[in-house]
Each structure stands twice: as structure tokens, then as C-alpha cells.
Amino acid sequence: MKAEPVVPVRVYLLVFLSLLVLTAITTAVAFFDLGGGVNNGIALTIAVCKGLLVILFFMHVRYSDKLTWVFAAAGFFWLLILIGGTMDDVVTRPVLSRETASTSTEFNPR
């Protein structure tokens, strides 16, 4: 961190253009029906890529020391536990109770 180099403008420009292109792709893909799983997979993968580009280059983590990596990863690791653990429960509930919940249209607070 102490010897953190000044990131060249060229790098920022490349990241910036990549982010715009990825935004255009994710928007364009939304107009084609590739099946829900594929569409959503592409949208979320592109979002993760864009987030990583911002964190690594705009937020300088790519050029920072290991301690910064740990601090930056901690929040997202926790997020993974929160969403992963929660969805693990929610998604498997109907399997246990032999009912299909995800396609239900009626309002039925559980």
C-alpha cells in the first residue's frame, strides 16, 4: 500500500469501456429469450464481472496489499453465507414438505 503506484489513465479508460460494453451486452441479452436459467445466469455473471472490474481497478485493490484483499473480501464472503445459507433453507423447504412453492401465484405468506 505504501508503494501503491499511480494507476495509468489508460487502465481506467480500458476498464471504463469494458464496463460500458458489458452493460450493453447484458441489456441486449435481456431482449432474447434463451430460457430463464441462461438469461439470469448471463445477467448475474456480467454483474459479478463488472463489480470485480470496479473493485480491482477503480478501487485499486489489484494494486493493494494482502490485508486490503482480506478486508475487501470479508464483506462479500459474509454476503455469500447470508444469501447461500438462506436460499439453501428456502429452496429445499418444498422438497421436505412435498409441495411446489416457486410456481405458486396466490398470495400466501409463509
Partner 1 sequence: MSKVEAFRQHHFDGVEQQHEASWLGMWVFLATEVMFFGGMFAAYFVYRHWYLLAFGSASNRLDIWLGAINTAVLICSSFTMALAVHSAETSRRKPLIRFLMLTIILGLVFLGIKFYEYHTKFEEYLVPGSSFRFEAALAAPAEIFFSFYFAMTGMHAVHMIIGIGLLTALIVRARRGHFSALYHTPVELTGLYWHFVDIVWIFLFPLLYLLGRHL
Spatial contact of 63 and 7, defined as CB atoms under 8 Å apart: yes
Number of helices (H), then strands (E), belonging to the chain: the values are 3, 0
> Please, what is the minimum distance in Å from the beta carbon of residue 97 to partner 1?
14
* Nearest-angstrom CA–CA distance, 13 and 41: 27
Q: Which residues bind partner 1 (CB under 8 A)?
A: 1-2, 6-7, 9, 12-13, 15-16, 19-20, 23-24, 26-27, 30-31, 33-36, 39-40, 43-44, 46-47, 50-51, 54-55, 57-59, 64, 67-68, 71-72, 74-76, 78-79, 82-83, 86-87, 90-91, 101-107, 110
Name the region of 64 (left: φ>0; alpha: ψ -120 to 50; beta: rest): beta
Closest approach, Cβ 12 to partner 1, in A, equals 5
